Every structure is written in structure tokens, then in C-alpha cells.
Amino acid sequence: MENKKEMTAFCSSVGADERQPIQKCNNNFSIDSYSENGKNFEEMQRELLRNLDPSYLKTISMSDLYDTVYDSKLPLIEGLLYPGTYIFAGAPKLGKSFLIAQIAYHISTGTPLWNYAVRKGTVLYLALEDDYRRLQERLYRMFGMESTGNLYFSVSAGQLGRGLDEQLAGFVAEHDNTRLIIIDTLQKVRELGGDNYSYANDYQVITRLKSFADSNGICLLLVHHTRKQIADDKFDMISGTSGLLGAADGAFLLYKEKRTGNAATLEVSGRDQQDQKLYLLRNPETLMWDLKKTETELWREPPEPLLDEIAGRVMKDISFWEGSATELISLLAIEIQPNIITKKLNILSGRLYAEYGIRYKKERSHEGRKIQLWRDAAKTV
């Protein structure tokens, strides 16, 4: 992978904002690799002993943070759904399953959802409150004969700690392009126990699922129910304690003002995205949801001259470029220092790929530090 973290040879545990996959992290190291980073053998030994000490607090300086390239977090649905763990909540019999199937189908085919761009990938839908006959009828009513081989279903699965973990890991291993796994519903896979609804237990359940999603770079969408009580903050209506939402990366909340009507509101909130409110209208024939309007336009990051220059000048007519930071600067029409351009590209590599389809990598060899830029023909957003 081109955007692997380069600074550290040892794995760190996955936290709320880390992107380093657990099982993809490589603990192998060599003296040569440490020498390239300016570390001698004695420093290597000391660092190894520190990392093996469970009482040692692993830290990273701000300077090292800027010197590190992390995996970019590309959206599944632009502005709506990203890798991580999300809760999708709504009252029973409201049309959640139809909207979930709509999301699954669009991601599996790569077709835009309403006016939102979609990144194509394999989808697993655990429809644990359905059977295959009902699924077949629902999908035919929604999509007719337009089918896809990238959307998989199962109506039975194990529980957390009782087979589900291995089942999901096996599916991802078999389908390396997996982008989304839907669990409908969360309650069906929760471990049995007497303290299911404490804050600690709710937080632990989501954290466990989040660890799996983060380590595999996928999105887990957990379908859940809401309470009947009205709350000032709509997201407080999610059944269970605030531990569910506190541990998740985001949430969708679907609700109606009039239960018998075809109009509904979808509110979206997440750590790495803009909060949104979408007004939907259900087609009475296909039972699919159409977007009527949005409360606010999607916020766009301000233009970044460095990225514009790289895409429009350096990579305009070529698919690959390699050279030093000084050589790269000589091709640009902006003033920037060599040590600054590398740090900025470390930080902005995700935007460079997401907005222009250009990959970035830095290497250190006997010839010196090199920057590599190349276009990713497989990118679909």
C-alpha cells in the first residue's frame, strides 16, 4: 500500500482517530531501516525494549506527526458515509430497511445516491430480521431486474464473541474490495447478558465493532431502533445509553412527523463530516426514498494552491513523477521551502488523492529523499 505509515516500526493500538490497521501492521524491522531514519543500533535496542514494556507510554511529537503519512479516509458516499462505525436509527416499520438496501445497492454498483458521489465496493448486508423470500420481493420491487454481484446477503449470523467476529473477518478476507458491512439489527448480534444496557456495555459493544471496522478500513452500519419519547436533541432518541453514540463515528436518524405519510427527515452527524438534515419522500410504487431537499449545502474545503499546482502543472500530462522536494518546487509557480512542501504533502495526501486521484509517497534511499507522485487509474469516487 502506498500510504502506509512510515515513521514507526511498531504497532500502536487503534484509537478513535488512528488509521493504522491492526492486522496489516508489520512488526518486522531491520537495522537498515533504522539507519535510514538516523537511528543507530543502540537506539534501536532501546526503542525495542521500551515498546515491549507494557508500562511505557508511547507518544509521538508534533514534528514526527507532521513527518508521517497516514492512510487517507475516502468516503463511501461523499459527505454522508465514511469508513468507521455508524448507527442508523429509526422507529420500527418506518422504512429503514428500504433506505438501507438503497444505500447498499448504490455502493455495490458505484452509482450516485441522489446527488452524492459514491465509491464502488463490495457490500455485505446481514438482514437478520428478514428471510430470503422477503429480501427477494423487496429488492425486485425497488430495483426490478437490475442486479449486482457485489451485494451479498445473509439472514443468519453469530453474535459478538460467539462466531460473528470470525464470520466477518472471513468475509473480508474472501472479498478484499469490501467497503460496507450492514448489521440489521444491532440487537441481534449483541452478547447475551444481564447488563446489556449500561453505558459501559454499550460503549464496549460499539468499540469492539469499531476496532474491526478501523483495522480493515471499512464501514460498519448498525441498524438500531429509537425510543418513543421525544427529545430536544433528536439523537437522544436512539435506544440504549449515550455510550452507543459516544463510541460510534457517526449516526443517521430517520424519523417522520406523520407516521402514515411518505415524507421523512434524515439527520446525519459524524466526527469527520458536516452535520446534515435531508428531507426525503418515499415513492409509493417502488418504496424507494427520493431526496426532496437539503437544509444546507455541503461544506467544501477551501482551495489548496499546492495541490492545484501539482495536479495542473506537474501531473498534467504524465502518470508518474519522481524527484526531490527541490526538484518538485522548481516545477511549481508558488514559493515554498523544501522541508515545508514534504510536511504539507504528508498532511494533504488524502485530499490530493480524493480530489485529483493522485497518490503520494516519500522514500529515503542512498541517493537521498525522494517524492513519488502517480495517478491511480483504479480510483472511483
CA nearest to 218, candidates 226, 209, 227, 207? 209
Place of cell 539507519: 35
pLDDT above 50 for 245? yes
Q: What is the DSSP letter of 270?
A: E
The domains located in the chain, with CATH, are 1-71 (no CATH), 84-294 (3.40.50.300), 301-381 (1.10.10)
- The pLDDT confidence band at residue 86, using thresholds 50, 70 and 90, is very high
Which of residues 52 and 341 earns the better pLDDT score?
A: 341
Per-residue pLDDT tens over the stretch 129-149: 999 999 999 999 999 999 999
Residue 155 burial (10 A CB sphere; 0-12, 13-18, 19+): middle
Q: What is the pTM of this model?
A: 0.80
Q: Region 326-332: what's the mean pLDDT? A: 95
Residue 76 burial (10 A CB sphere; 0-12, 13-18, 19+): buried
- Pairing of the two strands 263-270 and 276-282: antiparallel
Long-range interactions of 297-306: CB distance < 8 A, separation 24+: 298/78, 298/79, 298/274, 299/274, 301/351, 304/348, 304/351, 305/334, 306/332, 306/334, 306/336, 306/341, 306/344, 306/345, 306/348
Place of cell 463511501: 76
- Give 179's contacts (C-beta < 8 A, 6+ positions apart): 76, 83, 107, 119, 120, 121, 122, 123, 218, 219
Taken in order 360, 272, 164, 110, the sign of the CA dihedral is negative
